[in-house]
Amino acid sequence: MAHRFEIRKNKGGEFVAYFCYNAETIFWTEGYSSKASARNAIESIKKNGPAAETVDTTTD
């Protein structure tokens, strides 16, 4: 599957969850002090993301 979540450490040593498509990072979370918190963020995105509305704030 081309889509995946990755947990990586940033330069500050925090755990960050990345959502990737093929070799491209689409978005990432804030840094967390524990890997468990990064995993919880991934689970929250999986659970709540499909129902999220799209808001267009552009003026054109």
- Domains, the chain, in order of start with CATH, read 3-47 (3.30.160.160)
pTM to 2 decimal places: 0.83
- The tokens describing 30, both together, are 């804030």
* Chain mean pLDDT for the chain: 95
What's the first-to-final CA gap in the chain, in angstroms?
Answer: 36
Mean pLDDT of 27-49: 96
Listed residue (7, 47, 52) closest to 25, CA to CA: 7
Mean pLDDT of 27-36: 97
pLDDT tens, residue by residue, 5-25 = 999 999 999 999 999 999 899
